[in-house]
Amino acid sequence: MAQYDVIVIGSGPGGYVCAIRCAQLGLKTACVEGRETLGGTCLNVGCIPSKAMLHATEMLHEAEANFAEMGLKGKSPSVDWKQMLSYKQKTIDQNTGGIEFLFKKNKIDWLKGWGSIPEKGKVKVGDETHSAKHIIVASGSEPASLPGVEIDETVVVSSTGALELSKVPKKMVVIGGGVIGLELGSVYKRLGAEVHVIEFLDKITPTMDEEVSRQFQKLLAKQGIEFTLGAAVQGVEATKQKAKVSYKMRKDDSEHEIDADVVLVSTGRKPVSKGFGLEDLGVEISERGQIKTDDHYRTNVEGIYAIGDAIDGPMLAHKAEDEGMACAEGIAGQHPHVNYGVIPSVIYTHPEVSMVGRTEQDLKEEGREYKVGKFSFMGNGRAKANFAADGFVKILADKTTDRVLGAHIIGPMAGDLIHEICVAMEFGAAAEDIARTCHAHPTYSEAVREAALACGDGPIHS
Ligand code: FAD
């Protein structure tokens, strides 16, 4: 029986980052993973493979839409689906292999197999039981479905099946207009599928700033993605090759059906928190299945901690990573802090969408006076040259103090641009601080500066 300071259960971005930080801080660490490879949902069936597919299909779109205009003549590329899947798999392998390398480098033991906690301070993997002073549960999440919808991962698929389809479907129905559905819907739209999104609410991406969400839907519709909003899916009937989705419009209860070759169910994810001993030890789990923790990621049972998708908060890889680091540092006696007010969200469609901090809706609800600085990518030279001028940067700042409260970007590299605002917010900066910072020309980031200028005396290029 091996003796550890820390055993982490799960090697997703929460778990592996936590394990590495523990090892860096001098704690003897092991990480249990039941999958064949390290990296969790994110590296195996989430962030990384989906971004590879988004990248490949965006290149295809770029070639089809803009190459001729730039004087790049010749045959447009055609899709070799098998090769695209193999590129995606290579990307996964490089990343998961990278974590294995980091584990070796940091002398972290990978305990292969599914782990359980038979008693406090013990983790059982296969026939072996290991001891640890601290057990960190980073068990992540899995796709959730709807009543009446059975996922077979062939015709009715979750995001996992959608990344492994045997061919590009002619028609795909996406249930749920959230981040994962829209990203994967975009992939298949660019590959030539007819894509129809059915969303229960009256808008897509409900947590996003409303103006951005409206603009985003318009741009996706312009790309040919169809939307039915305010529709409650009643069930999906599937055969081996086809499926039929039935739904009811919420405004008038009218009933409808739509056929598809593939139905992607992207109605959210649920935490993995049961079946490996937590309930028997009396660890508190919420009705939604989230493991309850305090600010230091401690559960109510001494020596057991939880982080990442398995606990409360946005289900994002970088949120899990930050919690992983903070949990490790807390165990090592440091005083870490995760600032949940500055966690960016990104949608990696074309154009990209990103946000951090408050939305206008939040500020109205809080009754806080604010100003809006907005700048369109139409006024950005680089964006125009790159056929990427759709979208805008919107900064929300306190009306009196000018302190940046949030930012919402739809446009090129929005997922990278948002971090300038994250840093500004961490330093408690005013919009004027961003506006007075020299930004290189010509870059997309000039649009961020112009939006900051728009919070004051006004932007230059609009
Ligand atoms: P996970 O990554 O889910 O890892 C948990 C691991 O624990 C799993 O490997 C599991 O096998 C293992 N495990 C569970 N129980 C046990 C046990 N008892 N014993 C051993 N091992 C166990 N987030 C972003 O921030 N950006 C994105 O672009 C993004 N894209 C996504 C795209 C898709 C299609 C999906 C599905 C998700 C995406 N996410 C994205 C979300 C992101 O993947 C998760 O937020 C993140 O992986 C959560 O990390 P985690 O460490 O909490 O758990």
Q: What are 372's strand-pairing partners?
A: 396
**Ligand 1: which of 17, 45, 47, 160 to mutate, judged by most atoms within 8 Å of the beta carbon?**
47
Q: Residues 168-177: pLDDT tens digits?
A: 999 999 999 9
Residue 24 pLDDT: 98
Residue 181 pLDDT: 97
Cβ of 158 less than 6 Å from ligand 1: no
**450: confidence class by pLDDT, cuts 50, 70, 90:** very high
Average pLDDT, the chain: 97
Which CATH entry fits the domain spanning 342-454: 3.40.640.10, 3.30.390.30, 3.40.50.720, 3.30.365.10?
A: 3.30.390.30
CA distances 176 to 185, 201, 233, 283, Å, are 10, 9, 10, 32
Q: Residues 262-280: pLDDT tens digits?
A: 999 999 999 999 999 999 9
Cβ of 318 less than 6 Å from ligand 1: yes
Region 339-355: what's the mean pLDDT?
A: 98
**Backbone dihedral angles phi then psi of residue 125, each to the nearest 5 degrees:** -130, 115
Cβ of 11 less than 6 Å from ligand 1: yes
Is residue 50 predicted with pLDDT exceeding 80? yes
Residue 462 pLDDT: 86
**376: confidence class by pLDDT, cuts 50, 70, 90:** very high
- Orientation angle between helical segments 47-66 and 179-190, nearest 10 degrees: 40
Q: What distance in Å separates the CA atoms of residue 100 and residue 195, rounded to the nearest whole number?
A: 38
User: Domain segments of the chain: what residues?
Assistant: 3-143+270-338, 156-264, 342-454
For residue 244, the surrounding DSSP H or E stretch is strand 243-249
* CA 227–ligand 1 middle distance (angstroms): 28
Which CATH entry fits the domain spanning 156-264: 3.30.300.130, 3.40.50.300, 3.50.50.60, 1.10.8.60?
A: 3.50.50.60
Residue 148 pLDDT: 85
Q: Residues 121-163: pLDDT tens digits?
A: 999 999 999 999 999 999 999 999 899 899 999 999 999 999 9
Residue 341 pLDDT: 97
180 marked as part of a ligand binding site: yes
- Report which protein residue has its CA nearest ligand 1's atom 36: 46
pTM of the model: 0.97
Nearest-atom number in ligand 1 for the CA of 11 is: 6
Cβ of 13 less than 6 Å from ligand 1: yes
Nearest-atom number in ligand 1 for the CA of 35 is: 11
Are domains 3-143+270-338 and 342-454 of this chain identical in fold?
no
For residue 167, the surrounding DSSP H or E stretch is none
Nearest-atom number in ligand 1 for the CA of 184 is: 34
* CA 318–ligand 1 middle distance (angstroms): 11
Nearest-atom number in ligand 1 for the CA of 116 is: 18
**240: confidence class by pLDDT, cuts 50, 70, 90:** confident
Cβ of 271 less than 6 Å from ligand 1: no
Residue 75 pLDDT: 86
Q: Which amino acid is present at 462?
A: S
Pairing of the two strands 109-112 and 29-33: parallel
User: At the top level of CATH, which class does the domain 3-143+270-338 belong to?
Assistant: alpha beta
Residue 343 pLDDT: 98
- Report which protein residue has its CA nearest ligand 1's atom 45: 316
176 marked as part of a ligand binding site: yes
- Report which protein residue has its CA nearest ligand 1's atom 12: 10
Q: Are 413 and 431 in contact (CB under 8 A)?
A: no
Nearest-atom number in ligand 1 for the CA of 15 is: 51
Q: Which amino acid is present at 416?
A: D
Number of other CB atoms surrounding residue 121 within 10 Å: 16
**366: confidence class by pLDDT, cuts 50, 70, 90:** very high
* CA 45–ligand 1 middle distance (angstroms): 8
Residue 76 pLDDT: 83
Q: Residues 286-331: pLDDT tens digits?
A: 999 999 999 999 999 999 999 999 999 999 999 999 999 999 999 9
Per-state percent for the chain, helix, strand, coil, to nearest 5: 35, 25, 40
Cβ of 140 less than 6 Å from ligand 1: yes
Catalytic residues: 441
Cβ of 324 less than 6 Å from ligand 1: no
Specify whether the backbone of 222 is left (phi greater than 0), alpha (psi in -120 to 50) or beta.
alpha
Cβ of 115 less than 6 Å from ligand 1: yes
373 marked as part of a ligand binding site: no
